[in-house]
Amino acid sequence: MLTLIEKILFVLAVLASGYAVYLASRRIIGIISRGHGKPDWNLAVKRLVSVLFKVATLQPTFKIRLLPSLLHGLVAWGFIYYLLVNLGDVLEAFIPHFTFLGVGPLGNLYRLLADQLSFWVLVSMVALLIRRFVVRDPRLTAREDVLLSPQARFGIKRDSAIVGGFILVHVGARFVGESFKLAAGQELPWQPFAGELANLWTGWSPAALTGAEHVCFWLALGMILGFFPYFLYSKHIHLFFAPLNFLLKPERRSMGELSKIDFDDEKIEQFGATRLENLGWEQLMDGYACIMCYRCQEVCPAYNTGKVLSPAALEINKRYFFNSEGARLAKGEASSKPLLEFAISKEAVWACTSCGACVDICPVNNEPMRDILEIRRSLVLMENEFPKQLQAAFRGMERNVNPWNISPAERMKWAAGLNVPTIEDVSEPDILWWVGCAPATDARAQKTAQAFAAILAAAGVKYAVLGENEQCTGDSARRAGKEDIFFGLAQANVELLNEVKPKRIVTTCPHCLHALKNEYPAFGGNYTVIHHTQLINELLEQGKLKLNENKAGLVTYHDPCYLGRHNGILIDPRKALERAHAELVEMPRSGMQSFCCGAGGAQMWKEEEHGKQRVNANRFAEAAATGAPTIAVGCPFCMVMLTDARKDANSELQVLDVAEIISQAIVS
């Protein structure tokens, strides 16, 4: 129970803290509002239950770093519970003879949870501080060659020390304060840890215990009032913005779906993002939501192979720029520097494979990959600046509607002697097979197309291909920032497909699948699109394919990024292989955590950025370490990259598409 003077001082402190929070909040809202677009608050209503579950379970944090995640979870759960505890403590301090939730079963449960969580928060916080400042876990920072704000390299440690100290004092003071109450004879049962601590105060006078209790109150509650204004400037504001990120992030069919640029709109003056204010509001909010945990960096294939790209550094640099230039941004003034001068280097922008690992792993739903692709759009469309090796692919897509620059007249050469029907031969096929540029033109990928054609014939599937009318989906152009080429290809393909009206489309390339399924709806093309491994598994399940009983042996399956992470197709390729009597051996990084082959994000058409290792070499070594003699893939780009790595390693491992493995097992 506070004295009258203490109550007045506390109310004044609440008002002062509240005003400081209001000023900082208004500034943050002004900064986020500078981004284009507006949040759809209806999404928050629709997602509320699922987001509450994510917040309560901290589900996304447990994908990697199990022990640190558990320690972080204990701190977070304790902090969430302390919202109730702090309310109870304030009410008890202001209302005479009041015990929050009473002394019955509900009150006892409340005090038991408060006691237990207080203890584990303190233990966990000490462990986390030891990890950062004593052990100095290298995963909690970026290499010196990465562009990271000098303020961040010091500021993150400072924030961690301040917040760690605050939690220890806030929770510790409240915990100790409860022990003083117990030592003074108050009947507050079900507090075993505080009860043990109370034994230390045996013999203290009532006045001393009351005074100590008051000191603890001011340390615990007064500390939090002082912390609130600082909280809005520290990295720990993610406690507020992480739930908002999950509630309000725009709906997308896939993490890789990009916004449409309408080149018919002559009012558009800016393509992509040159400055912070060119990003979407949700991309600016990502900077505030970022935990600065570096999990995205830990799974990034570019960073893991020595490139200067760190998706974590990108988000962190945005946040520190907000802190230094937030006032002018909130007023509507232009930012003083372009993104390439403070957020990310140009070399890092072109190192991204758009694999989506950073988006998938982020515990607060940030999307650094999208920022990078928007910066690419700006470089290519506004500055006409891109790696010169991409010019050949761009020219091929413009002149011959494929990045290999092969004449459309040669598009069906792969099918010579296979009796592959075109849409002119079969007017209403059950399946329209979108062959894709790689299987139609690349010598190695053609074997996949030929194997799949044999499977369709053996199963008696009524299908057709577009033949010479088929052209590139434009995926590589879009990932490279050459949005005008993608725009033209998408419009032409949608017009053609809408005339054909396919029942289902099957692709042998995940990149084609992604474009047709997730990005063409913005152009008026809404289709049912499946991957060839899905159709193969379906045919096997229906008994339409007869396979021999010979064991396919040990096989390790490489999940293509645009098949697994971007489109969630993980089970069908594995089931198909198992039905072919293959014994699957998983790589350490598989499924949604699969490691990239290095070809995505238009890397297929350019030299890999400088690093310590090639991405495909890293992935091939992991596959080889499983001991399986065969690597199964489901993507022509992965096929090219892993085959190249096999040659470089002078290895005897086979790299085969799932379709090739199944085709070899068919009983005619």
For the residues of 620-664, what is the DSSP string, one character each? HHHHHTTT-SEEEES-HHHHHHHHHHHHHTT---EEEEHHHHHHH
Judged against a pLDDT cut of 80, whether residue 668 lies above it is answered with no
pLDDT at site 259: 92
Average pLDDT over residues 51-71: 91
What angle (nearest 5°) sits at the alpha carbon of residue 275, between those of residues 273 and 280? 55
- Asked whether the beta carbons of 212 and 173 are under 8 A apart, the reply is no
Q: What is the DSSP string of 439-473?
A: HHH-HHHHHHHHHHHHHHHHHT--EEE-GGG----
Cα distances (angstroms) measured from residue 589 to each of 299, 394, 623: 10, 33, 10
pLDDT at site 497: 98
What is d(CA 640, CA 202) in angstroms, rounded to the nearest whole number? 75
The structure's pTM equals: 0.93
Predicted confidence (pLDDT) per residue in 310-354, tens digit: 999 999 999 999 999 888 899 999 999 999 999 999 999 999 999
Place of tokens 């003879």: 97
Which band of pLDDT confidence, cut at 50, 70 and 90, is reported for residue 439?
Answer: confident
- Asked whether the beta carbons of 361 and 56 are under 8 A apart, the reply is no
Which band of pLDDT confidence, cut at 50, 70 and 90, is reported for residue 196?
Answer: very high
Going by the DSSP 8-state scheme, the letter that residue 36 receives in this structure is: B
Which band of pLDDT confidence, cut at 50, 70 and 90, is reported for residue 231?
Answer: confident
Query: What are phi and psi for residue 557, nearest 5 degrees?
Result: -105, 130
Cα distances (angstroms) measured from residue 42 to each of 45, 333, 341: 5, 30, 37
pLDDT at site 552: 75
From the centroid of its chain, how far is CA 236?
19
pLDDT at site 434: 98
Per-residue tokens: 653: 């491992």
Predicted confidence (pLDDT) per residue in 368-414, tens digit: 999 999 999 999 999 999 999 999 999 999 999 999 999 999 999 99
Predicted confidence (pLDDT) per residue in 94-104, tens digit: 999 899 998 89
pLDDT at site 235: 85
What is d(CA 408, CA 660) in angstroms, rounded to the nearest whole number? 25
Which band of pLDDT confidence, cut at 50, 70 and 90, is reported for residue 1?
Answer: confident
- Asked whether the beta carbons of 119 and 287 are under 8 A apart, the reply is no
Which band of pLDDT confidence, cut at 50, 70 and 90, is reported for residue 187?
Answer: confident
Q: What is the DSSP string of 355-405?
A: --HHHHH-TT---HHHHHHHHHHHHHHHH----TTHHHHHHHHHHHSSTT-
Predicted confidence (pLDDT) per residue in 580-604, tens digit: 999 999 999 999 999 999 999 999 9
pLDDT at site 577: 96
| Count of residues making up the chain | 668
Q: Which residues contact 578 (CB under 8 A, 6 or more apart)?
A: 584
